[in-house]
Structure 1
Amino acid sequence: MKLIGKTLLLIGATSDIGRATALTYAQAGWDVHLVGRARERVQREADDIGARTGKAIMVHELDILDTGRFEAFLSEVLPLPDTAVCVIGELGEQARAEREMEHAAMVMRTNFEGPALLMGLLAERFAARGSGTLVGISSVAGDRGRASNYVYGAAKAGLTAFLSGLRNRLSKAGVRVLTVKPGFVRTRMTVGLKLPPLLTAEPQEVANVIFAMAEGGKGPDVAYVRRIWRPLMAVIRSLPEPIFKRLRL
């Protein structure tokens, strides 16, 4: 079926942020391609969003750790999307990552290697066309390594740096590269965690920021979903190392 209008590629469709973002775009009239690891779960999201909006929702299966399939996967996504949003994230368990190399590697690859390589391939296709917008979900955890989540934070720091370099390289090629740092979000991934209300966003808040940044035409290239995070993380980044080491963060 030939799609009409603008098209979104949403990578990480079964997450709470992914679902909210896909629904936001579909409600705005976009055709949507949903990508996830388990086709059945992705199809359920697609059926629900399609029923709510009447829009064409395409379904794709892809494991972000299966980097060898990225090229073939992108050849299946037609037409080349106007905007691609990658919301994939895996918090993992810090204590387990300290003990088990395999778990640490999974967290690092899921949050950095897979998303970065896939967005890099998309960026090349966007650059060849001369247009396109890429949105990557990073994290405030990547702003400075903290004892409580430094494996996850290191991976997100890598993604932030990758998106920054990609943005710098493609700024004159008609391709926009945006970085969103949600902070705490009330999702299935954070169930059981004690979250501070002032610093905790809802999935729809994140989706609204993504859509405003990517499609609003103006605004920053890097955004914290809740603005309070910007001065807070500026303070944390500026702390001298001897003081920082004494803190429990």
Structure 2
Amino acid sequence: MNQNTSKTVLILGANSDVAKQCIIQYLEKGFSVMAASRNTKSLQDFITAQHLNPEKVNVLYFDAADFGSHQKFYYDLPVKPHIVVYAAGFLVDNQKALTDFKGAKQMMEVNYMGGVSILNIIAMDESNKNLERIIGLSSLSGVRGRKSNFVYGSTKAAFTQYLAGLRQELSSRKIIVNALVIGYIRTKINEGLELNESLIMEPDYVAKYIVNAGNSFTIVPDFKWKIIYHILRLLPESLAAKLP
């Protein structure tokens, strides 16, 4: 099971349900993990509850929306990572985002701006010869604008396009960039939403696609969501406008 005993992964936004499953699975593959989040107590409780090796998991404080802290956060890391996963995310209801800019702004800051801020710092550090891969968690919501969630979707669309350009920027250094384009997951962020049960994925299932990411830029977990992804991309505007 332990395939790699010398490499380190940095997970930003490590308190999400998917990110926590990534911690478990990266440890199983032999990685050391730097788990970064605003809620460090929740991460420590998770490590204890799961009986994870505390010597292999380093819990760090990271605030995606505190852009001014990102440079110091990166340079204070105990070791520079081989893999970086940006899993930070925030969601408010679309109607709330339309009527209260505070929620819309927070989605922009966490889902997009925070990712650009910290990943620019990481990607431009050419002294880090360890860096092999950057993985960003995006969403099917960012594929086409839809009435029900277009403010949130716009932040994910922007993040996907950023990752696409970053992939080109880093290709000469042989650094792989992946965008996980994800559908519904049974997580805290989706609690209370009316979702199609047959389409909901479990966090550990999604985590497998992250931990085992290959060379493709766009990775869409689950064949049902792959079909939906391609339909959304190709759907004529007259039909897309009828989507909820």
Same-fold call, TM > 0.5?
yes
Superposed CA RMSD in Å reads 1.8
The structural deviation recorded for 1:87 is: 1.0
Q: Which residue of 2 aligns with 1:239?
A: 235
Mapping for residues 89-128 of structure 1, pairs under 5 Å: 89-125=89-125
Identify if the C-alpha distance between structure 1 residues 148 and 21 changes in structure 2 by more than 3 Å, giving closer, same or farther. Answer: same
Q: Which residue of 2 aligns with 1:61?
A: 61
Please, which of 236, 240, 248 is the counterpart of residue 243 of structure 2?
248
TM-score, normalised with respect to structure 1: 0.90
Residues in 2 aligned to 1:199 and 1:91: alpha-carbon distance in whole angstroms:
19
Contact 1:16 1:188 in 2 (8 A): yes
Identify if the C-alpha distance between structure 1 residues 120 and 177 changes in structure 2 by more than 3 Å, giving closer, same or farther. Answer: same
Residues in 1 aligned to 2:27 and 2:71: alpha-carbon distance in whole angstroms:
26
Q: Return 189-198 or 202-211, whichever deviates more.
A: 189-198
2:3 is the counterpart of 1:7: no
2:51 is the counterpart of 1:45: no
Residues in 2 aligned to 1:121 and 1:145: alpha-carbon distance in whole angstroms:
30
The structural deviation recorded for 1:45 is: 2.6
The structural deviation recorded for 1:231 is: 2.6
Residues in 2 aligned to 1:237 and 1:219: alpha-carbon distance in whole angstroms:
21
Identify if the C-alpha distance between structure 1 residues 126 and 225 changes in structure 2 by more than 3 Å, giving closer, same or farther. Answer: farther
Structure 2, gaps ≥5 residues long: none
Q: Return 96-105 or 235-244, whichever deviates more.
A: 235-244
Contact 2:83 2:133 in 1 (8 A): yes
The structural deviation recorded for 1:197 is: 3.2
Residues in 2 aligned to 1:60 and 1:160: alpha-carbon distance in whole angstroms:
26
Q: Which residue of 2 aligns with 1:143?
A: 143
The structural deviation recorded for 1:242 is: 2.8
Contact 2:166 2:177 in 1 (8 A): yes
The C-alpha deviation readout for 1:189-224, integer Å capped at 9, x for no partner, is 1112222233221100111001111xxxx4522110
Q: Which residue of 2 aligns with 1:207?
A: 207
The C-alpha deviation readout for 1:62-83, integer Å capped at 9, x for no partner, is 1110000000000111210111
Question: How many positions carry a matched residue from both structures?
Answer: 240
Q: Which residue of 1 aligns with 2:225?
A: 229
Residues in 2 aligned to 1:238 and 1:33: alpha-carbon distance in whole angstroms:
39
Identity level (%): 28
Residues in 2 aligned to 1:232 and 1:31: alpha-carbon distance in whole angstroms:
35
Contact 2:90 2:107 in 1 (8 A): yes
TM-score, normalised with respect to structure 2: 0.92
Residues in 2 aligned to 1:16 and 1:147: alpha-carbon distance in whole angstroms:
27
Residues in 1 aligned to 2:138 and 2:8: alpha-carbon distance in whole angstroms:
23
Contact 1:127 1:173 in 2 (8 A): no
